[in-house]
Amino acid sequence: MPALSAQHLTRRFGNRLAVDGLSFEFKAGEIFGLLGPNGAGKTTTLRMLAGLIAPTSGSVQIDGETMTPDAAPRLRARIGFLTEAPGLWDNLTVRENLSIYARLYGLADPDEAVTNALTLFEIADRSQDRTARLSKGLKQRVALARAIVHQPPIVLLDEPTSGLDPESARDVRELIVGMREQGRAVLLCTHNLDEVERVADRVAVLRSRLVAVGSPGELRERLFVPRLRIRLSQPAEPFAAILRTSGLGDVSVEGTSLSLSAGKRPTPEIVRTLVEAGAGLEAIGEEERSLEDVYIKLLNAGERAK
Amino acid sequence: MRMLALLHKELADERQNLSLFVPSLIVAVVAILLPVFVAIIVPYATGERLSDSSDFEIAIELYRSQPGTRALDPEAAIQAYLFQFFAVMLVLIPVTSSMSLAAYSVVGEKQARTLEPLLVTPITTFELLGAKVLGAFMPSIVLTAVSYIVYVLVTVIFARTGVAGILLGARSIATVFVLGPLAALAALQMAVCVSSRVNDARTAQQIGVLVILPIPGLLVGQLFGALTLSVPVIAMIALGLLVINAGLMWLAIALFDRETILTRWK
Nearest to A250 by CA among A280, A233, A229, A269: A229
Could you tell me the sign of the dihedral formed by the alpha carbons of B112, B114, B116, B119, in that order?
negative
A87/B115 CB distance under 8 A: yes
> Are the C-beta atoms of residues A205 and A299 closer than 8 Å to each other?
yes
Share of chain A above pLDDT 90, in %: 39
> What is the per-residue pLDDT for A195?
83
Q: How many CA atoms does the CB half-sphere of A63 hold within 13 Å?
A: 14
Residue A107: what pLDDT? 92
pLDDT tens digit sequence for A161-178: 887 888 888 888 888 999
Question: Alpha-carbon distance A78 to A3, whole Å?
Answer: 10
Write the class of the CATH domain A4-221: alpha beta
* Residues in CB range of A287: below 8 A, 6 or more apart: A226, A227, A228, A229, A259
pLDDT in tens, chain B (266 residues): 889 999 999 888 888 888 878 888 888 898 889 888 888 888 888 888 877 777 777 767 766 766 666 777 878 888 888 888 888 788 888 777 777 777 777 777 887 889 889 999 988 888 988 898 888 888 888 888 898 899 899 988 988 888 888 888 888 888 888 888 888 888 888 877 877 777 676 777 777 667 667 777 776 776 666 677 778 888 888 899 899 889 988 888 888 878 877 776 55
> Cβ atoms within 10 A of the Cβ of B71, count?
13
CA–CA dist A114, B237 (Å, integer) = 47
A4-221 shares its CATH topology with A226-286: no
Look at residue A303 in the predicted model and tell me its pLDDT. Answer: 61
* Non-local CB neighbours of B193 within 8 Å, separated by 6+ positions: B248, B251, B252, B255
Residue B6 and residue A104: Cβ atoms within 8 Å? yes
Predicted TM-score of the model (pTM): 0.78
Residue to mutate among B120, B256, B258, with most A CBs inside 10 A, is B120
In sequence order, which residues have a C-beta less than 8 Å from that of residue A56 and are 6 or more positions away?
Answer: A10, A11, A12
Sheet of A257-260: strand order equals A251-254, A257-260, A228-232, A281-286
For residues A205 and A303, give the distance between their C-alpha atoms in angstroms, rounded to a whole number: 13
**Quick one: which of B128, B131, B39, B146 has its CA closest to B90?**
B146
DSSP state, residue B177? I
Binding-site residues on chain B for chain A (CB distance < 8 A):
1-2, 4-6, 8-9, 12-13, 16-17, 112-124, 258-259, 262-263
Q: Give the residue extent of every domain in chain A.
A: 4-221, 226-286
CA of B135, closest CA in chain A: separation in Å? 14
Query: Which residue, A79, A77, A31, A67, is CA-closest to A185?
Result: A31
The pLDDT of residue A103 is 94
Across the interface, of A73, A83, A91, the residue whose CB is closest to B16 is: A91
CB neighbourhood size of B171 (10 A):
18
Question: How long a stretch of residues is chain B?
Answer: 266
Within 8 A of B131 by CB-CB distance, chain A residues are none
Q: Which CATH class is domain A226-286?
A: alpha beta
The sign of the CA dihedral A60, A64, A67, A68 is positive
End-to-end alpha carbon distance in chain B: 31
Which residues of A fall below an 8 Å CB-CB distance to B? 13, 44, 47, 50, 52-54, 73-74, 76-77, 79, 81, 83, 85-92, 96, 100-101, 103-106, 130, 143, 146
Among A45-49, A96-100, B61-65, B255-259, the minimum mean pLDDT is found in B61-65
Give the strand pairing for A16-26 and A31-35: unpaired
Nearest residue on chain B to A83, alpha-carbon basis: B117
Hey, are the CB atoms on A87 and B113 less than 8 Å from each other?
yes
Residue A153's nearest CA partner among A26, A59, A54 is A26
Q: Shortest Cα distance from B118 to chain A (angstroms)?
A: 8
pLDDT tier for residue A31 given thresholds of 50, 70 and 90: very high
The residue-averaged pLDDT of A214-241 equals 82
Number of H helices, E strands in chain B: 16, 0
Give ∠ CA B129-B135-B137 in degrees, rounded to 5. 100
CA atoms within 13 A on the CB side of B199: 9
B121 with A77: Cβ contact below 8 A: yes
Is there a contact between B244 and B189 (Cβ–Cβ < 8 Å)? Answer: no
Alpha helices in B48-162 (DSSP H): 57-64, 74-86, 89-103, 105-111, 115-120, 125-158
Closest CA to B118 of A104, A234, A16: A104
DSSP B175: I
> What was the pLDDT predicted at A101?
95
First to last CA, chain A: 34
